[in-house]
Amino acid sequence: DTEVTQTPKHLVMGMTNKKSLKCEQHMGHRAMYWYKQKAKKPPELMFVYSYEKLSINESVPSRFSPECPNSSLLNLHLHALQPEDSALYLCASSPWGQMNTEAFFGQGTRLTVV
Amino acid sequence: SQQGEEDPQALSIQEGENATMNCSYKTSINNLQWYRQNSGRGLVHLILIRSNEREKHSGRLRVTLDTSKKSSSLLITASRAADTASYFCATAVTGKLIFGQGTTLQVKP
């Protein structure tokens, strides 16, 4: 199984809502990543988890809260988002955290904040 | 700020022609990777070239890396309509994978 599964595929939420994005992989990878991608732009790194510990936070606002419950799961908790946070959120995994090999990406969650 | 710049930003060719995309980056890297993205969905890894390699092939793909110029190129030979997508270079630096601006390729049947 070489898949990274993200749920939901689409999400519409209000600015006062709390929601979570989920990401799962069963490749035994020990590094997992959240990226944000706006239309016609490249993916931008948000967070890196290495061996279930947060190793990189790219100065992401606190309204985005990552969580890694175990080595296969990665969540992104959303609270009090703004319309400009609407984007495609991509999860990725790699065998370990040094990016010495390819990363596997999920299909993304397309988030709309209204 | 993004690590890589790519050119051209957009490329339109006929089926059967070759497509070349270029990527430049700013800092020392461990490796450089190329990804494809169809219709704003997930990215698919195409090829990885390490900093001590100069050229790599995979099927119809040929990648070169010039660390002295901090640049790389991706050549797709004998293009097909199915190659229509956005192509991104990505540099691996201290545990991060940082993407370039991307090239949008359209292959006309």
Please, are residues B6 and B101 in contact by the beta-carbon 8 Å criterion?
Answer: yes
Which member of A41, A56, A100 has the closest CB to residue B96? A56
Please, are residues B60 and B27 in contact by the beta-carbon 8 Å criterion?
Answer: no
Segment A90-112, tens digit of pLDDT: 999 999 877 778 999 999 999 99
Rg (CA), chain A: 13
Please, are residues A82 and A99 in contact by the beta-carbon 8 Å criterion?
Answer: no
- The chain A residue lying nearest B6, using CA atoms, is A42
Of the candidate ranges A29-33, B47-51, B56-60, B92-96, the one whose mean pLDDT is the lowest: B92-96
State residue A56's pLDDT score.
93
What CA–CA distance (Å, rounded) separates B98 from A42?
9
Q: What is the mean pLDDT of chain A?
A: 94
Segment B25-84, tens digit of pLDDT: 998 888 999 999 998 789 999 999 999 999 999 999 999 999 999 999 999 999 999 999
Contact yes or no for B42 and A98 at CB 8 A: no
State residue A1's pLDDT score.
65
Please, are residues B83 and B19 in contact by the beta-carbon 8 Å criterion?
Answer: yes
Contact yes or no for B40 and A39 at CB 8 A: yes
- The amino acid at residue A16 is T
> In a mutagenesis test of the A interface, which of B97, B98, B103 is the best target, namely the one with the most A β-carbons within 10 Å?
B97
> In a mutagenesis test of the B interface, which of A7, A21, A99 is the best target, namely the one with the most B β-carbons within 10 Å?
A99
Q: CA angle at residue A101 from A98 to A107, to 5 degrees?
A: 100
Name chain B contacts of A44, Cβ cutoff 8 Å: 99
State residue A43's pLDDT score.
96
**What percentage of residues in chain A have a pLDDT greater than 90?**
92
Burial class (CB in 10 A: 0-12, 13-18, 19+), B13: middle
SS3 labels along B7-57:
ECCEEEEECCCCEEEEEEECCCCCEEEEEEECCCCCEEEEEEEECCCCEEE
